[in-house]
Amino acid sequence: MKAVNLHTLNTLKSKGEKFPVITAYDSAFARQIELAEIEVVLVGDSLGNVVLGYDSTVPVTMDDMLHHTAAVVRGNDLSLIIADMPFMSYATGEMTLDNAALLMQAGAQMVKLEGGAWLKESIFMLSERGIPVCGHLGLTPQSVNKLGGYRVQGRDEESAQQIFTDAEILQTAGADLLVLECVPSELATRIAEHLTIPVIGIGAGPGVDAQVLVLYDMLGFSPRMPKFTKNFLPDTGDVMLALKAYADAVRSGEFPAPEHCFT
């Protein structure tokens, strides 16, 4: 695999070729992901749940994200690396710029922020200053306390329309990628077809441009497996085979299957 950049991902979208994205939190897994030729690595704040043992992503700090981003960057030279901005690290414009700059200086090539229209100025500022941005709509885990739990979003017409409009606003503000989490497949497909930027789904059905899974979920390490994930680890415990099986299943459209989707 050649070094992946935004141009690579836009070309894949324009050719209708789906690509895999996976989370990672350390150098060892980041290296395996590069060897498996997975285009994009997300240093997700899901590290709060799967690595640090918290019950949400809310306690994750900028120091946590910087530490794990730098570790992933040291292990992987070829995948495009996105770092999550943690809870409250983008609460104001100034904080957004300062904290995004720190993640980029730790080696990330893009930052990801959770939220809709309220982020448009922040995304515009980052984009104008040369920092690529990934938006995140639907189920936004940093807002779990406001959402009242981890629930599928956009199930009624009004909230579906809100997510659709927010997606347009984020793209217009300068977002380069968009994650849609836990939304009905039909809504996600409509958004992916409407936007020009690649749309990455998790629990968003097969009609988007890419899929992302939490690494420890797809290796079957998580005590509670969400409906939208799948354990790709073979009985032999070969991690490389699991990563390649996941990448192949995304590229062929075999994953997600109907049992991983919401209607």
Q: Is 46 in the site for ligand KIV (CB under 6 A)?
A: yes
Closer residue to ligand KIV, CB minimum distance, 83 or 104: 83
Angstrom distances, CA of residue 175 to CA of 41, 65, 69, 136, 169: 17, 21, 20, 10, 9
Tell me the closest approach of the beta carbon of residue 68 to ligand KIV, in angstroms.
Answer: 11
Termini Cα distance of the chain: 35
Closer residue to ligand KIV, CB minimum distance, 167 or 212: 212
Residue 17 appears among annotated catalytic residues: no
Chain centroid to Cα 141, Å, comes to 12
Catalytic residue among 37, 181, 186, 254: 181
Tell me the closest approach of the beta carbon of residue 228 to ligand KIV, in angstroms.
Answer: 10
Q: Is 179 in the site for ligand KIV (CB under 6 A)?
A: yes
Exposed/middle/buried for residue 224 (C-beta within 10 Å: 0-12, 13-18, 19+): exposed
Q: Which stretch binds ligand KIV (CB under 6 A): 2-10, 44-52, 117-125, 147-155?
A: 44-52
Question: Which residue from 44, 116, 184, 256 is in contact with ligand KIV, where contact means CB under 6 A?
Answer: 44
Angle at 85 between CA 83 and CA 91, to 5 degrees: 160
Q: Which stretch binds ligand KIV (CB under 6 A): 28-36, 43-51, 148-156, 163-171?
A: 43-51
Closer residue to ligand KIV, CB minimum distance, 128 or 149: 149
Site for ligand KIV in 79-98 (CB under 6 A): 84
Cα four-point dihedral sign 214, 216, 218, 223: negative
Q: Is 76 in the site for ligand KIV (CB under 6 A)?
A: no
Closer residue to ligand KIV, CB minimum distance, 13 or 68: 68
Number of residues that bind ligand KIV (CB under 6 A): 11
Round to whole Å and give the CA distance between 211 and 114. 17
Which spans in the chain are helix H?
6-15, 27-35, 47-50, 62-75, 93-105, 120-128, 144-147, 157-173, 185-194, 215-218, 239-252
Catalytic center residues: 181
Residue ranges binding ligand KIV (CB under 6 A): 23, 42, 44-46, 84, 179, 181, 202, 212, 214
